[in-house]
Amino acid sequence: MVLEVQNLRYTPAGIPVLNLLLEHESSVTEMDAPRRVKLQVRAVAFGVLAETLSRQALTSVCRFAGFMAHARNGKGLVFHIQDFSKT
């Protein structure tokens, strides 16, 4: 779910960049017992994808694909969105 969307910005080269806050919630089995998983993660999208995501309503439920990387300041992780679809 999309919790927060910052204003669309542009790199010095003119590439659109969008920072978001996503929330994930699911159930998994751990040691034969159900476990509820809920977390928030910072995310970033670039280019046309950033422009498209900037128009999504808050609390939109989507499926995201991408990769995790260190934040630029070296503190924490950021999910780099490479694709998404509405669920």
- pLDDT tens for the chain, 87 residues long, are 899 999 999 999 999 999 999 999 999 999 999 999 999 999 999 999 999 999 888 888 899 999 999 988 778 999 999 999 987
pLDDT on residue 74: 79
Q: Which residues contact 58 (CB under 8 A, 6 or more apart)?
A: 2, 3, 4, 5
Domain 2-86 has CATH 3.40.50.300: no
Going from the C-alpha of 48 to that of each of 16, 55, 78, the distances in angstroms are: 7, 11, 19
Answer yes or no: pTM beyond 0.85.
yes
> Residue ranges of the domains in the chain?
2-86
